[in-house]
A and B are shown apart, each in its own frame.
Chain A
Amino acid sequence: MIQAEELTKEYRHFTAVKQLSFAAEAGRVTGFLGPNGAGKTTTISMILGLAEPDGGQALVAGKPFRRLGNPATAVGAVLDGGAFHDGRSARASLRASCAAAGLPASRAGEVLETVGLSDAPDRRVGKYSLGMRQRLSLAQALLGDPQVLILDEPANGLDPEGIVWLRKALRRLAHEEGKTVFVSSHILAEMQATVDTVVVIAEGQLVSEFAVGELAGGRTVIARANQADRLADAVERGGGKAVRSGEQLSISGLNADRVGEIALEAGVALSALGIEQQDLEQRYMELTAGKGR
């Protein structure tokens, strides 16, 4: 589990993160969203002990990162599109991490196979494509089989096949192995298909925290009728809320079946009746409108 408690980070001229609190639970994939400059990378850096908070604290498995005895076995991270030296082979990079974490060198080969890089382990990382570097980053994160995974833009550079593979891998790690998976990305459609919970920040502050499943509950019924005013009155009397735009009504608080019944009872002929389901992108845009830095 990851907990951010009143996390604050100030730089000379601005506050990057301000009293940010949220939690990423075990067994779930938590998405971390926000506009550029929202403070996502700073927050992840503080969680991983790479940056010192000026206020509050970030806990991984109940402890600040720097107090974890052997971090590689507690938390794995994918950052910066692969933080590896271009002149070193993938195998050597991972073996160095294995040695530092006290893991057997053979573990490097195992994770390279897991991420589909077993055919190029001795190639220099500088010769890897961006997608291969991302896979290598994931291999590095998985080395110690940690309970917590933190991934910053892990889908960058991946081909469609790689993105599907990543989505399945992250969901399997969370849902089948009970790990805490915390992932930031700008690919909202992919996030909607991958994550269970979303944490949205803007200007360094928490904007919203919600389950992706809630989006299905935010559906809007769209109805078209010549007598839109009459239908709007009937909908209001029926307990719904209608917003009129010409002949079209956007109705919330009622399902499509009920709107059809109300129209029938009111004697209003409908020319169209449908459902507009809110997706993560719409919700995100509403939440962060005008909040980019």
Chain B
Amino acid sequence: MGHQIAAEWIKARSLRSTWLLVGLAVIGMIAQALTGAIGYDGTGAGRQTLDVMSGSGLTLVVVTIIGVLLAANEYGSKSIVSTYTVTADRRRVVLAKAVVALAIAAGIGLFSVPLARLVAVIWFALGGGGNWDAGFGTALHYDYGTMIAYAGFAVVGVAIGVLSRSVAIGVGVAFVGLFVIDSILGSVSFYSEYSFTAAAEVLNNPDVHQGNLPRFGSAIALMALYAGLLTAIGVGVERRRDV
């Protein structure tokens, strides 16, 4: 499995599109932090700080696309033929792609709070209103919440990419499925506690809890469940399909 992960990492890092999307993901995080800082209404610097630190919706979209690309790109270019003639076990290939997507997305998430702090420092230095009001524990909470949310979406992106075998279809399905349909269903009272996007919302904003959303621990479990389930479906289907 280690060999396959190394192979998938070489493939990911050797494409410009991966780095362009990582750059876009960082821009998403900066935009989120700036929006949080600018939105300060003069009262409660604590809320402003939480808004600055919260995970970015744009970055969630971008890491999902990274996952889709890591998987579906191989079918578009037919390089999947080379992959499967070197590695006969397709389960290993799909899982290795998921691990690499998870690592890239979690790596991006790791810098979420430090980047937010940097944006806030610059904002305050330039005379922007408000002040930083969060301890290390809160910052850590936000950081790993964001890492898990990004990682979960990237893994789901890989599963969608494997199932769709097309970058365009995969990105379309991911966007409509995750960011439109799931969000709409999330507004239904029963489903709101189990919605994938609701889980991401909680992980991105762990200290801003709303009654109709899952708890932080439940959000982590839901994220793992959905990502694991979709990956298992992807592996199962891919093992039986012809190339």
**Cross-chain contact B14 with A96 (CB below 8 angstroms):** yes
Q: Is the CB of B77 within 8 A of A45?
A: no
Interface residues of B in 44-90 (CB under 8 A from A): 73-74, 77-89
Task: Report the Cα distance A96→B89, complex, angstroms.
Answer: 16
Question: Interface centre among A48, A51, A95, A96, by most B CB within 10 Å?
Answer: A96
Known: A83-B80, A83-B82, A85-B73. A66 touches B88 (CB 8 A): yes
21 contacts between A and B (CB under 8 A): A45-B242, A50-B242, A51-B242, A51-B243, A71-B86, A72-B86, A75-B85, A77-B81, A83-B78, A83-B82, A85-B73, A85-B77, A86-B77, A87-B15, A93-B79, A96-B14, A99-B6, A100-B4, A101-B87, A102-B3, A143-B86
Residues on B with C-beta less than 8 A from A88 are 11, 14-15, 79
A79 at interface by CB-CB < 8 Å? yes
Tell me which residues across on chain A come within 8 A of B84, comparing CB atoms: 48-50
- Smallest CB-CB separation from A143: which chain B residue? B86
Nearest-neighbour CB distance to chain A for B11, whole angstroms, equals 5
Digit string of B82-116 for contact with A (CB within 8 Å is 1, else 0)? 11111111000000000000000000000000000
A95 to chain B: closest CB distance in Å?
5
The reply to whether A50 and B87 form a contact with Cβ atoms under 8 Å apart is no
A52 at interface (Cβ–Cβ under 8 A)? yes
Interface size on A, residues (CB 8 A): 36
Q: Does A166 contact B (CB under 8 A)?
A: no
> How far, in angstroms, from A102 to B4 measured CA to CA in the complex?
9
Interface centre among B16, B74, B83, B242 (most CB of A within 10 A): B242
Q: Tell me the complex Cα distance, A16–B197, Å.
A: 45
Asked whether A140 and B88 contact (CB < 8 A) given A51-B242, A52-B242, A89-B14, the answer is: no
- Residues of B contacting A79 in the complex (Cβ-Cβ under 8 angstroms): 81, 85
Interface pair A71/B79, CB less than 8 Å apart: no
Q: Bound complex: CA of A52 vs CA of B242, how far in Å?
A: 6
A45 lies within 8 A of B243 (CB): yes
Q: Shortest beta-carbon distance, A75 to chain B, in Å?
A: 7
* B82: contacting residue among A86, A92, A93, CB under 8 A: A93
Q: Are A96 and B11 in contact (CB under 8 A)?
A: yes
